[in-house]
């Protein structure tokens, strides 16, 4: 029986006296200490091109990685690289530039080169990284054109190294859930997708340069295109594109302001997509299936996805734990290297988008729909 005498030294619970209950752990270790599991080996990354994406998103993301670590930087600006090397504890000897880039070959700490250069430089610096014996994670769009994509894939094969295109949405839970829903009876066969990805781009910006292969289609429209492919799990057979390039806005001397395109899939499903560099931020898709509708607000952003399913059972919003997209994709690639597996978004994924982009651009030129 429990007895108690508050204010005296005798407090007994069950058969145990309070004075017998140990307060501090006897060996000074918290009893519920959760030790992280040892990681076999972390994959070392060299980040190439220290611009907005690298500095604001990718470098901080290493802090959330389990299998990836930052070991080197490549930049045309030595002062910037030195400052970032101090912040991220990268040894001075692991700072490279575009001239001594190939010397990374003899640096054994570097397993992967993460290519975050302007689009027109993706092919050259990816191929040189393979020649230096490194694996490559390359930003989207994969390259300037289909021929370059094919050369990059061939270079990876020759070097026996892996190539992954940084389609971060394949590695985050909301888009993965949307893929699962679209394949289910709850949505049914997909009939129509509407997708849009727009933002205002101010000069100067690599996105406004024809020479650097900017333009809204490869930069933001590619998210709508890639989503249409991953949501349907199909490849379009025919496309139609239309571009708007205003003569009175100097930002759009070299690239269109906006591009609209339609993708026709086997079986009749269609995706209606639009993208712009002259409109307020808007990034969504809406999938209409025979049995239900999947909508995602903020679909293509770094965070803030809102996923909803509506069908005859009602409307449901999904609460999922968000992840850092860049940490998730870098760790996926690291795991592929450690376990010798094919990445979920290999070079072939980037090539497929580039072939469709080429067909959309042909349709824009000719004013006619184009077979893919
Ligand atoms: P920035 O213009 O901000 O950075 C590009 C960097 O490339 C520069 O800072 C510079 O780095 C280097 N560079 C080398 N040569 C040139 C050159 N001739 N002109 C300009 N820059 C040069 O671009 P972003 O970081 O926004 O984009 C880079 C890539 O990342 C693009 O391919 C883009 O599509 C992709 N991206 C992907 C996103 C995603 O969500 N997956 C989001 C944003 C961009 P340094 O000074 O160190 O040499």
- Distance from Cα 151 to the centre of ligand 1, integer Å: 21
- Distance from Cα 253 to the centre of ligand 1, integer Å: 20
pLDDT at 13: 47
User: SS in 3 state form for the chain?
Assistant: CCEECCCCCCEEECCEEHHHCCCCCCCCCCCCCCCCCCCCCCEEEEEECCCHHHHHHHHHHHHHCCCEEEEEEECCCHHHHHHHHHHCCCCHHHEECCCCHHHHHHCCCCCEEEECCCHHHHHHHHHHHHHCCCEEEECCCCCCCHHHHHHHHHHHHHHCCCEEECCHHHHCHHHHHHHHHHCCCCCCCEEEEEEEEEEECCCCCHHHCCCCCCCHHHHHHHHHHHHHHHHHCCCCCEEEEEEECCCCCHHHCCCCCEEEEEEECCCCCEEEEEEECEEEEEEEEEEEECCEEEEEECCCCCCCCEEEEEECCEEEECCCCCCCHHHHHHHHHHHHHHHCCCCCCEHHHHHHHHHHHHHHHHHHHHCCCEEC
- Distance from Cα 50 to the centre of ligand 1, integer Å: 7
Q: Residue 126 in contact with residue 163, Cβ under 8 Å?
A: yes
pLDDT at 205: 98
Mutate to test the pocket of ligand 1, among 119, 125, 206, 224 (most ligand atoms within 8 A of CB): 206
Q: How far is CA 177 from CA 82, 152, 230, 238, 272, in A?
A: 41, 31, 11, 27, 21
Mutate to test the pocket of ligand 1, among 113, 117, 136 (most ligand atoms within 8 A of CB): 117
How far apart CA 223 and CA 230 sit, in angstroms, is 10
Pocket of ligand 1 (CB under 6 A): 49-54, 75-77, 80, 116-119, 139-140, 166, 168, 206, 212, 219
- 176 annotated active-site: no
pLDDT at 22: 82
- 319 annotated active-site: no
Mutate to test the pocket of ligand 1, among 54, 114, 116 (most ligand atoms within 8 A of CB): 116
Global confidence as pTM: 0.91
Which atom of ligand 1 has the smallest separation from the CA of 219? 34
How far apart CA 33 and CA 10 sit, in angstroms, is 31
pLDDT tens for the chain, 372 residues long, are 344 444 444 444 455 677 888 888 878 788 888 888 776 799 999 999 999 999 999 999 999 999 999 999 999 999 999 999 999 999 999 999 999 999 999 999 999 999 999 999 999 999 999 999 999 999 999 999 999 999 999 999 999 999 999 999 999 999 999 999 999 999 989 999 999 999 999 999 999 999 999 999 999 999 999 999 999 999 999 999 999 999 999 999 999 999 999 999 999 999 999 999 999 999 999 999 999 999 999 999 999 999 999 999 999 999 999 999 999 999 999 999 999 999 999 999 999 999 999 999 999 999 999 999
- Distance from Cα 58 to the centre of ligand 1, integer Å: 12
């Amino acid at each position: 029986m429990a007895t108690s005498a508050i204010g005296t030294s005798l407090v007994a619970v069950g058969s145990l006296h309070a004075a017998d209950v140990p307060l501090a752990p006897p060996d000074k270790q918290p009893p519920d200490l959760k030790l992280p599991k040892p990681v076999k080996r972390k994959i070392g990354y060299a980040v190439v091109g220290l611009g907005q994406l690298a500095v604001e998103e990718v470098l901080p993301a290493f802090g959330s990685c389990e299998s990836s670590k930052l070991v080197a930087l490549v930049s045309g600006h030595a002062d910037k690289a030195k400052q970032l090397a101090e912040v991220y504890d990268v040894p001075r000897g692991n700072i490279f530039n575009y001239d001594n880039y190939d010397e990374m070959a003899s640096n054994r700490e570097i397993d992967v080169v993460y290519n975050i250069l302007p689009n027109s430089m993706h092919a050259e610096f990816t191929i040189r990284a393979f020649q230096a014996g490194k694996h490559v994670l390359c930003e989207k769009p994969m390259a300037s054109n289909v021929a370059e994509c094919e050369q990059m894939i061939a270079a990876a094969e020759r070097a026996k190294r892996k190539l992954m295109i940084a389609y971060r949405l394949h590695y985050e839970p909301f888009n993965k859930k949307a893929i699962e829903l679209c394949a289910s009876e709850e949505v049914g066969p997909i009939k129509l997708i509407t997708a849009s990805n727009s933002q205002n781009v101010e000069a100067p910006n690599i996105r406004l340069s024809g020479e650097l292969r900017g333009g809204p289609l490869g930069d933001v429209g590619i998210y709508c295109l890639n989503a249409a492919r991953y949501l349907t799990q199909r490849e379009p057979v025919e496309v139609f594109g239309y571009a708007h390039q205003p003569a009175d806005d100097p930002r759009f001397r070299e690239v269109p302001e906006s591009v609209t395109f339609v993708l026709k899939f086997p079986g009749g499903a269609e995706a209606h997509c639009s993208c712009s560099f002259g409109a307020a931020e808007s990034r969504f898709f809406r999938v209409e299936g025979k049995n239900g509708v999947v909508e995602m607000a903020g679909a293509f952003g770094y965070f803030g996805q809102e996923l909803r399913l509506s069908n005859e059972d009602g409307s449901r919003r999904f609460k999922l734990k968000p992840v850092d997209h860049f940490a998730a994709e870098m760790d996926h690639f690291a795991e592929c290297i450690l376990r010798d597996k094919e990445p979920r978004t290999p070079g072939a994924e980037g090539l497929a988008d580039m072939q469709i982009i080429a067909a959309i651009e042909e349709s824009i030129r000719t004013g006619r729909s184009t077979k893919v």
